Structure 1
Amino acid sequence: MSNIRRVAVIGLGSMGGAMASTLHRAGWTVTGFDPSEAARDAAALTGISTTADLKELAGTPYAVLSLPSASVVEATVPTLLAAPGTIAIIDTTTSEPGTSKSMAELAASHDAAFVDAPVSGGRDGAATGSLSAFVGATDSALTAAEPVLEALTGGKYAHIGGPGSGNVVKLLNNVLAAANLVSVGEALGVAKAYGIDPAVAAASISSASGGSKVSDAMYPNWVLSGTHNSGFSLGLMARDAALAIDVARQMGQHPELLAAAASQWQDALAVLGPAADFTEIARTVAPDVTPAGAPDKTSAPDPTSTTDKTSAPDKSPAA
C-alpha cells in the first residue's frame, strides 16, 4: 500500500509547494520537481524529497501538476508516462480544454488516467488541504484520481463533466473574479470620492445583495490594507481572463461585459507588469482606495516578462 501512495508533484511554486506539503502531512511519499533550485530547496525544508530531473519521476503511481501553462503540461505528461506504473495524473493547472482532452487520450493509451482539476482557494487552501477543484474526467479516470483529490480538497471537488470541462468552468470562475475585482474597485472609488470610508462601504455591501468574496475579503485584506500580498500574480490572472474570452469565442459566444473586464486586466498588465500581485488591479481602476496608490506609468515594466511572484512552474488561483 505504501508503494502505491507515492506521488510526484511537478511545480513547487506557491501552490505546488503547498500541495506537496499537504500530501506529505497526509502520509503520502512525495517527490517534487521544479526547474528552480530555490523552489526545490524550499520544498526540501518541509521534508519533501526533490529531484532536478523530471525523467526520474516517470511511472510514479500518482502525479500532481501545478504548471504555468498548457504548453508546459503538454511537454510534461509524455515524460511522466514514459515508464509503466502511472495510475493517475491530476492536473491542477489553469490549462486549456483542448490540451486536457488530448492528454486524457494519451494517458488512456498508457492505461493511466488524466484529469483536469484546476483548483480554487489559493495558497492557504493548498496548505491546509481545503482547496476546491473543478474536475473534468471520465468516470473511471475520476475514480483513479480520487485518493489525491480527497487529500487536496477534503472532498470539495465537483465533477463538471468530461475531459476539459474542469478547465472551462475554472476559467469562467477566474474571469468572473477578475470582473468583480474591477467592479468592486470602481464602486469603492465612488464611495471614497463621496467621503465614505471604503472599508465601511465594503463591509456594508458584503452583507447585502452586491456582496462577494471580493468585497468581503479580498479588498479588506489585500487592497484597503495596501499589502497586496495574496501570492497570486497579476500576470496569471490577466492570462486566465484572456483565455476565458478566447475559449468563449471558440464556442461562438461573445460575452461583452467579461471581455471588457479582461481588457482592463491587459491595461493593468502593461503598467504594472506580470509580477505584480493580482489585487494591484485596484491601483489602476481605483487608485484612491489603496495606500499603494496609482502606479508610476513613466517606468512601466515589460508586460512580456515571464517573471512572477510564483516560482515556475506553478499554477495558482487564489481566485
Structure 2
Amino acid sequence: MSKHIAVVGLGSMGGAMAAQLVEAGWQVGGFDPSPAARAAAREAGVAAVDTLEALAGTPYVVLSLPSAAVVEASLPVLLASPGTLAVVDTTTSQPDTSAACAARAAEQGVAFVDAPVSGGRTGAAAGRLSAFVGGEEDAVEAARPVLDALTGGQFRHLGGPGSGNVVKLLNNVLAAVNLVAVGEALAVARAYGVDPAAAAEGISGASGASRASSAMYPDWVLSGSYDSGFSLGLMARDAALAVETAALRGETPRLLSAASERWQEALAALGPAADFSEIARTVAPTLTR
C-alpha cells in the first residue's frame, strides 16, 4: 500500500491531521493558500507546496476545506494527473456536492468518500477523530487506510455518497440547539440564585444531560476561556446548512430553524471569528465574563 498522501487545507484541523499522519509514518504533502499555514505545516514535517496543481496524482488525498464550493473547485485539479486512488473529504460540506464529486471521481476510477469529522484539534492530533462516512462500499474500502489513520478505526459508514454530510450537519445543528437551550436554562438557574456550575452538574447526571451541559458550558463558558477552537462562523454556517438540507427534501424542522436564527443573530453581533462557545454572550449574557 502506498503511504503517500496529500492534505489540502492546512488550517486548524487540516494542519493537525497532516502532522499526525507524519507521525504515523506517512509521506505527507500539503497545500493551503495561506503562506503561514504552509510554513507551520513544514515545521511539522509536511512537504507543503505552493500550488494545488503540484499535488495532482498523489495516491491518497485528504480534503479539509472551508466550503462545498472549494471542494468542488479543487477536485478536478487534483485529478488532472493519474495516480490518485482515493479522496477522503473531511469538509463539512453539502450532500449534493459530495454526491456529484463522488460521481466525477468514479468516472476516473478514483474513490471519493465524504467523511466529515468530529473531535476537534485534540482528536486530530491523536488520530482519534470520529468520522461520518458516505460513499459506495468499494469507495469506502479503497479509502479505509486513510480513514483508519485519521480515526483509529472509529468511523461509521452511513450510506451512499452524501450520507456522511447529512448526518454531520444534523450532529452540528443538534449541538447548536443544545448550546442555546442549556445557556438559556442556566441563566434561569442563576436568576433564582442557583450556581450555574452546580446546575450544569446536576442536569448532566439526569435526563436533561448533553455535552453542552457536561462539558461545553463548564469548560468554555463558565470558566471564561471560550477556547474550543471551533469558530462561531462555522457553527452558524453548519446550522443554516442543516436547515437548507432539510428543505431540499421537503422537511421543515421548526426547532432547528429557530436555533439557526439565534446563531445568525450571534454571528451578526460577535462576528465569524468568535469562538462558537461565545453564543452564550447573546443567549445567556448573565453567565458570561
TM-score w.r.t. the length of structure 2 is 0.99
Structure 1 partner of 2:31: 33
From 204, 218, 224, the counterpart of 2:222: 224
Aligned structure 1 segments of 4 or more residues deviating by more than 2 angstroms: none
Deviations 1:174-224 (A, max 9, x none): 000000000000000001111111111111111111111111111111111
From 24, 45, 48, the counterpart of 2:46: 48
Structure 2 partner of 1:193: 191
Partner Cα distance (2:128, 2:268) in 1:
34
Give the counterpart letter for 2:281 in structure 1: R
1:162 Cα deviation from its structure 2 partner: 0.2
TM-score w.r.t. the length of structure 1 is 0.90
Partner Cα distance (2:131, 2:158) in 1:
10
Is residue 71 of structure 2 the alignment partner of residue 73 of structure 1? yes
> Tell me, what secondary structure is at the counterpart of 1:106?
helix
Structure 1 partner of 2:155: 157
> Tell me, what secondary structure is at the counterpart of 1:160?
strand
Task: Extract unaligned runs of 5+ from structure 1.
Answer: 292-319
Structure 2 partner of 1:135: 133
Partner Cα distance (2:105, 2:199) in 1:
50
From 258, 261, 280, the counterpart of 2:256: 258
Give the counterpart letter for 1:33 in structure 2: F
Task: Extract unaligned runs of 5+ from structure 2.
Answer: none
From 94, 102, 105, the counterpart of 2:103: 105
Q: How does 1:238-317 map to 2 (within 5 A)?
A: 238-291=236-289
Give the counterpart letter for 1:126 in structure 2: A
Give the counterpart letter for 2:51 in structure 1: D
Partner Cα distance (1:41, 1:57) in 2:
17
Partner Cα distance (2:200, 2:60) in 1:
43
Structure 2 partner of 1:294: none
Which structure is richer in relative contact order (CA contacts within 8 A, separation 6 or more)?
Answer: 1
1:46 Cα deviation from its structure 2 partner: 1.1
Percent identity between the aligned chains?
67
Give the counterpart letter for 1:156 in structure 2: Q
Deviations 1:238-271 (A, max 9, x none): 0000000001011100100110000000000010
Give the counterpart letter for 1:79 in structure 2: V
1:288 Cα deviation from its structure 2 partner: 1.1
Is residue 6 of structure 2 the alignment partner of residue 8 of structure 1? yes
1:105 Cα deviation from its structure 2 partner: 0.7
Between Structure 1 and Structure 2, which shows a larger proportion of helix residues?
Answer: 2
> Tell me, what secondary structure is at the counterpart of 1:134?
strand
Deviations 1:37-87 (A, max 9, x none): 111111111111100110010000000000000000001000110000000
Partner Cα distance (2:212, 2:146) in 1:
29
Partner Cα distance (2:31, 2:137) in 1:
29
Partner Cα distance (2:50, 2:209) in 1:
45
